[in-house]
Chain A
C-alpha cells in the first residue's frame, strides 16, 4: 500500500498535465484519425526524413523544452522568473553568428568554437541577471526586466546587419536533420540537455540545494549552503539552456532575426513550468513536469493551426485551454474532486454493508 501511495504521490504533480496531454491527443484523433500518422519524405537535400504532426510537435517544442528546464531551476532557487530569456537568446544567437562569420568558413570545428563562445557569452549575460538577484537581492522579474527591454537591441548592436544569413549544410544539420538520420536534430538536443541536467543531479547535490534555497534561504544558509552561489549557478545553467536553444533557433531558419528569434518564449517557458505542476514561488520541482508542459503548449498550438485558426488569433484559444488546465489543477478543485470520490466510495461501501 505504501508503495502505491508513493507512486500516486509522485504522479500527483504530473497527473493534470498527463491528463491534459491525453485529452489533446484523443481530441486530435477524433477530429482527424490521420493526425498522428508518421510518414517518410525525401527533403530538398535528398535525405529521408520522418514527417507528420507528431514529429513536428516534438521538433518545434525543442527550444521551449530546453529553456523550460533552465527556467525550472531558476524558479526553484529564486522563487521568481527570468523574463529575459527571449531577449538573451537573441544576444546569444548574435554572438554565435558573429563568431562564426568572424572565422570565415563554416566547418565543424568553427561551429563548435562558435557554440562554445555563444554558451560562455550567454552565461555572462545570465550571471549579470544572477548577480542582481543573488547579490543585490532584487526581485528576479525586475532584475531580468532590464535585459528584457534592451536585450534585442544589444543583439542588433552585435551584428550590424539586420538579418545575417547562414547557409551551410552543417547549420542545416543542426537546425533540421543530419543526413542519414531521419529524426530532426533538435530532438537530440533536448535529450542531450536533459541528460546533462540529469547527470548533474545524479552526481551532485544540486537538486537538493536548489530546493532548500527556494524553500527557505535562511535555513539553507544555516545548513552550510551558500544561497548566493546556488542562485548564480542556476542562472548559469539557464544560460547554457538559452544558448543551446538560440543556436537551434538560428540554425532552424538559417538566419538571425534579432526581433523574432524565440520571440515571446519567456511567457511560454514560465507557462510550461506552471503547467508542469511546479510552484512559481520556488521550492520543490520536477523537471519532467516542465518538459511535459512545453510539449503540451506546442501540441495545443499545432492543434489550433491544424484547425485553421489564424496565427494572430491563436493566443485567445490558447488562453482558454490554459485556464481550463490550471483550474483543473488548482488545489481547491483537486480537493473537491478527491472529496467527491471519497464520498462516492464510502457511499458505495455503506450500500454494500446494507
Chain B
C-alpha cells in the first residue's frame, strides 16, 4: 500500500512541461476556432479546400515562424525575416527576368539556390555578430531588416513581375486530391488543390521538429535558452550553437522567400511587410516564450494557422472596412494572449501549491517522529 501511494504521488507530481501546456492550448484554440467557424459561418469553411487555402496562402508565414521559433528558443530574436523575404523575392524576380536559362528545372534550381544563398548570407553575418561579438540580437537583426529593405528598394523601387515562362509553368503545378474536393454548382468535381509551397512548409515544420527534438544542436538550443550559464557549464559550445541557430533562421527566411515567390510571382518593395511581427505573434501564440528555453515548431505552425484563420473569419464576416478588420484581429490576439497567460499562471500557482502541500506533510511527520522519540 505504501509503494502504491508513492507511485500515485509521483504520477500526480509529474506535471506537463510549459512547452506541452502551451502547445495544447494553441492546438485547442485552433480547433475551437475552426469548428466554431464551420458551425457559425459555414460556407467556405465546411469544405476541406478552405484548410488547404489557409496553408497555401500562409506557407511563407509558417516557414518564417519556424525560423523565429528556433532563435527564440535560444533566447534570441530575429526581426529581419520579413525583410529577407522581400529582398529574396525581389532578387529572384529580377534574376528570372534577366536570365538566359530556358529550361524550367534549371531556372527553378538556380532561383532556389539564389534564395537560399541570400538567406544564408544574412544568417551568417547576423549569427556571427550575435554569437561571437555578443551584440544584442534585436539590434543586429533590426539592422538586418533595414539592410534587407534598403537593398530591396535599391534593386528596384517599382514592382517586378516574373515573366519567365518556365518558372510560371512550375508555379502552376499543384497537387490535386479528388476525394477531398467538392462538386460545383454545374456538377463538375473540383479537386482540392495544394500548392508545392504548402507541402514545403509542412515538411519544414516536421524537419525542424525532428531537428530540435532529436539532434544535439536542437537540445543545446533548448539548454542555452533555458539557462545560458548552466549550458556553458554542461560543456555545450554556446557560441557555436547560437551561431548555427541564426544561420538556420536565415536559411529558412530565404526558403520562405522562394515559397512566397511561388505563391505570388512578383517582387515588390512591400512584400512581407510586417512579416516578422506576424511570425513573432505566431510563435508566441504557439507557445514559444521570448525569454527562451520553451517552445515548439508544431505550436508555431498552429500559431500561424490561428492568425490565418482569424484573418479569414474576419474577411468572410460582415465587417467590410479594413480598419474594423484590424481592430477585430487585434482584439482576438489580445484575447488569446491573455488566455494563454492566465492558463499558465494558474498552472504554475497550482503546481506551487501542490509542491508546498507534498513538501509540507513529510516535514510535519518528521517533527512528530522527533517529538515521539524524545
Contact = CB atoms under 8 A, between A and B. Distances in A.
A319 B150 contact: yes
Contacts of B16: none
A319 B280 contact: no
Contacts of A317: 150
B291 interface: yes
Nearest to A318: B146
Interface stretch (B203-211, B252-260, B330-338): B330-338
Given A149-B330, A319-B146, A280 B136 contact: yes
Given A142-B290, A156-B323, A330-B133, A322 B341 contact: no
B329 A132 contact: no
A327 B133 contact: yes
Interface in A140-172: 141-143, 145-150, 152-154, 156-157
Given A132-B338, A150-B327, A332-B134, A327 B129 contact: yes
Interface string A70-114: 000000000011010000000000000000000000000000000
Contact of B136 (A83, A143, A274): A274
Interface in B304-359: 322-324, 326-327, 329-331, 333-334, 337-338, 341-342, 345
Nearest to A258: B323
B interface: dominant SS? helix
Contact of A142 (B149, B284, B323, B330): B284
A331 interface: yes
A330 B139 CA distance: 12
Interface residues of B, number: 45
A25 interface: no
A318 B284 contact: no
A354 interface: no
A2 interface: no
Interface size grouping (class) on chain A = 35 or more
B205 to A, nearest CB: 21
Contact of B139 (A83, A147, A156, A271): A271
Interface stretch (B111-119, B151-159, B162-170): B151-159
Name which of B129, B323, B324 has the most chain A CB atoms within 10 A of its CB.
B323
A141 B134 contact: no
Contacts of B291: 139
Given A145-B280, A332-B132, A138 B333 contact: no
B269 interface: yes
Contacts of A313: 150, 153-154
B144 A150 contact: no
Name which of A142, A313, A327, A332 has the most chain B CB atoms within 10 A of its CB.
A142
Given A148-B277, A330-B135, A332-B134, A267 B341 contact: no
A270 B147 CA distance: 17
A267 B143 CA distance: 10
Name which of B142, B274, B333, B342 has the most chain A CB atoms within 10 A of its CB.
B142
Interface string B2-22: 000000000000000000000
A142 B147 contact: no
B284 A323 contact: no
Contacts of B144: 319
A136 interface: yes
Contact of B153 (A312, A327, A330): A312
Interface string A185-222: 00000000000000000000000000000000000000
A315 interface: yes
A150 B150 contact: no
Given A315-B147, A315-B150, A322-B139, A145 B323 contact: no
A314 interface: yes
A312 B157 contact: yes
Given A132-B337, A149-B326, A333 B133 contact: yes
Contacts of B345: 136-137
A138 B341 contact: yes
Given A138-B337, A142-B280, A319 B330 contact: no
Nearest to B139: A274
Interface string A304-322: 0000001011111111101
B289 interface: yes
B281 interface: yes
Contacts of A319: 143-147, 150
B249 to A, nearest CB: 17
B24 interface: no
Nearest to B285: A142
A137 B346 CA distance: 12
Given A316-B149, A332-B132, 6 more contacts: A141-B280, A153-B326, A270-B139, A271-B139, A326-B140, A330-B129
26 contacts: A132-B338, A136-B345, A138-B338, A139-B289, A141-B290, A142-B281, A142-B337, A145-B280, A145-B281, A148-B277, A149-B277, A149-B326, A149-B329, A149-B333, A150-B327, A153-B323, A157-B327, A271-B142, A281-B136, A314-B150, A315-B153, A326-B129, A326-B143, A327-B133, A330-B134, A331-B133
